Structure 1
């Protein structure tokens, strides 16, 4: 497989734009070439279609994480609609037999959520709105045997997002966080997040960022990923290695051997 560029998924900006605009959605999904690419990253356009993909993946022995596409919600009604969709999805996942298995250990079912889709950018107290909405989803997920991970977005939201994760972890210590190796700050964030039981998904990054906050060279992003991976593997948390890069995948086994990590103390994504 070709090594990813700085934009680990070059199609992601188009997919996210399609989630916000019906016109862009028609353009991205209508052309045969882009439709084929979109199908690699979108499990379905309805919960029914997604659940069919989920069943296929689970039957292969793998675990599942689902993200409801959409971000930059601009009104409370849109944020609530996103919450409602997640609650319905969590209920559907909770009805699967794998949900009951996950209540006593590593969970094979997970949803990922973007705080901007839950109201983080709303005027006034958007942070509180997003926190409350995320808490509602976490409560439902815990009861259903489903994990939740808070996704990373552009660098301007990082401080707010990690603060919300820290607040929610007081009640839901299993809540996952996502960090992006192309941001210059991420090594420090990994050190802060590498505590006992802390679930951390490490990815390369998918937003266009200025040089002042992000590495622009692919080699620098890759080197940062390796440094961050070592920090997480040396810590006492639960690293989630989110990369298709063969160099990253090959680096995991030696780190696991050196640190003595058990097979259920980390995962590839």
Structure 2
């Protein structure tokens, strides 16, 4: 199987180790991973802030890069980001339909149609496409899992991340109180409503601390960035780790 890694701009800029972990993990599972160098922002920040027309060229570029017209021939497009995965799967079709409704033709919807259904968040790709939950990982830590909003509500990841974590040797998974509550990041929400965002982040960190876990993990580094910043300010003993880095970790080559 040949897949394209859609790393996302947050990971590319701030968390490259997550991308390396995805490559290591998928390669270990026998997947051929390609990284299309022309990839850019998916347009989520523009779209969510109200600049929807400005997001359309980025969506079209995504299709050009990852679709048949680009390096192409991919069986799947895999991303370690629930929010960017949701942008492609949930909001790209809306963009295409809106362009059609506004009389701007079928071209955007047609361009996006091939890439939308084969874009997967990492954990759903592992469970639904590869059909695995035990990925051969070893991670001797106590861990609590935060289901990020886009993964939980837009992609419906459900128990997939937890099933993968429970199969990791040495890992003790502890339930997070208030797990389904937003961490307070929400992209530009954290900037426009900083006081509310900070209070929500504090609640999330305190709940994580109450579990006694060493690590809080999630499937989206944007949320982990917000939670991790809150942990630093509160001098918390818990640390944020992306689930990809846990699943890629082995006894021979621990990553985190």
Mark yes or no: TM-score above 0.5.
no
TM-score, length-normalised on structure 1?
0.35
